[in-house]
Amino acid sequence: MKPDVYASLGVKRRINAAGTLTRLGGALMDEEVIAAMAAAARASVDIAELQEAASGTISRLTGAQAGIVTTGAAAAPTLAAAAAMTRWDIAKMAALPQAEGFANEILLPRIHHTGYAHALRASGARIVDLGHNDRGTGAGVRGLEPWEIEAAITPRTAAFAFSVNPGNAADLATVVSVCNPKNIPVIVDAAAQLPPKFNLRRFFELGADLVAFSGGKAIGGPQASGILAGRRDLVGAALVQQLDMDVSPETWAPPDLIDLKEMKGIPHHGLGRGFKAGKEEIVGLLVALERFAAADDAASNAALEARLEQIARRLGDVPTRIASARETGRVPQLHLTVENPVALSRCLQAGDPPVHLSERFAAQGVLIVDAQALRPEDDGALADALRKALNV
């Protein structure tokens, strides 16, 4: 038997019924992805050339003009913002994150303002709020309107950021209709919008210029991987700001994704140098993406739902309800209605082994079993831990 690497480090293995959360290590990779990463680790390659190859695969599967592998989805908006501000201007690349000397404002609707806005600010961009949050707070039915976007655009505007979810995706077309004629890139954060797999193409079809996806969640790739895809010129500008650029100008052979003629020179290390993607992450992500794109969403959801039904049966009289993939917008989930969800979650996490449920609806008295990263062999242990904690 192989040694238990976590036990040797004194780290507890956890039963993850909370979903593909970064703090719990994201998705569980299958053997094909693991084998591909191991094989990638045993050779040297030109990372720029490998990213060019990755672009071909990402483009084919998403319909985008180009794409690169990033170090998680949170790195993608930073690189996207940097590319939108600099385009191919190497002097601007060198200046970041000091961007006051050129257009550095990114429009962000109030209803889209999340903790992940830090990823945009990290580039040196300045966030500009616009619109109202009536729909989000339940105070009204109106969403973002064209005149609000028009009024917010100034010569300082570098891009528009859009945090997409099933409830606001329809607004994306409105944003594109205003920004596209003005050559203002629309950056879409779709990190957790997979599945369904048709979202790989949907946001580009709606006109987004750049889209960020997580590689370590539903796609099933390495946790430290993500995708930035979209317009070829912007993806290329992002790539050159991510690469190791300690190169000799006389011998450097850039990939076609980097337009040396438009760039008019060779930049030094860029803002994204700390976001370098390793050959192992790039290859692992590509193998996982191919598998994800070929998978049958309906069959996968049916298998997850069958497991959740089995868990629910083992919980006896505990009030449960299965929320369908259609309802959640992603995958089926098991909702447990309990008296004190925070106390129950705390008890489960203190168990042996620790058990994690999603606390997304804890304020409404509900804990969620999200089985995306739950090993089938742990279903029984999960049900047993729940029965014990609930005294049923």
Name the E strands within the chain: 15-17, 66-70, 105-109, 126-130, 157-163, 186-189, 210-214, 226-230, 320-323, 333-337, 355-357, 366-369
Name all domains of the chain by residue range, CATH numbers in brackets. Answer: 31-294 (3.40.640.10), 296-390 (3.90.1150.180)
For residue 24, give every residue at least 6 positions away whose Cβ sits within 8 Å of its Cβ, in sequence order, or none.
14, 16, 18, 356, 373
Beta 333-337 vs 355-357: how paired, if at all?
unpaired
What is the C-alpha to C-alpha distance for residues 211 and 17, in angstroms, rounded to an integer? 28
Return d(Cα 148, Cα 218) in angstroms, integer.
34
Mean pLDDT of 302-308: 97
Higher pLDDT pick, 135 / 359? 359
CB-based contact 137:62 (threshold 8 Å)? no
pLDDT at 102 (0 to 100) = 97
Q: Are 222 and 245 in contact (CB under 8 A)?
A: no
Rounded Cα distance between 55 and 229, Å, is 8
DSSP state of 277: P
| Residues 135, 116: Cα–Cα separation, whole Å | 20
Q: With bands split at pLDDT 50, 70 and 90, how would you rate the model's confidence at 138?
A: confident
- In angstroms, what CA-CA distances link 47 with 98, 254, 261, 331, 333? 27, 10, 21, 35, 39
Predicted confidence band of residue 137 (pLDDT cuts 50, 70, 90): confident
Mean pLDDT of the region 228-240? 98
Residue 1: pLDDT over 70: no
Residues of the chain with pLDDT > 70: what percent?
99
Burial of 8 (0-12, 13-18, 19+ CB in 10 A): exposed
Classify the C-alpha dihedral 310-312-314-317 as positive or negative: negative
Give the pLDDT band (50/70/90) at residue 231: very high
CA distances from 98 to 85, 91, 104, 126, 342 (A): 11, 11, 9, 11, 43
pLDDT (tens digit per residue) in 251-299: 999 999 999 999 999 999 999 999 999 999 999 999 999 999 999 999 9
Give the model confidence (pLDDT) of 96-133 as tens digits. 999 999 999 999 998 888 889 999 999 999 999 998 87
Sign of CA dihedral 252, 257, 262, 267: negative
| Chain segment 29-45, per-residue pLDDT in tens | 999 999 999 999 999 99
Distance CA 341, CA 362 (A): 6
User: Which pLDDT belongs to residue 392?
Assistant: 72
Which amino acid would we find at residue 221? Answer: G
140 or 218: whose pLDDT is higher? 218
Q: 326-353: per-residue pLDDT in tens?
A: 999 899 999 999 999 999 999 999 999 9
Q: Residues 372-382: pLDDT tens digits?
A: 999 999 999 99
Separation between Cα atoms, residue 271 and residue 373, nearest integer Å:
33
Whole-Å CA distances, 56 to 46, 69, 229, 284: 16, 11, 11, 15
The whole-chain average pLDDT of the chain stands at 95
Q: What is the pTM of this model?
A: 0.94
Q: What is the pLDDT of residues 143-174, one digit of tens each?
A: 788 999 999 999 999 999 999 998 888 899 99
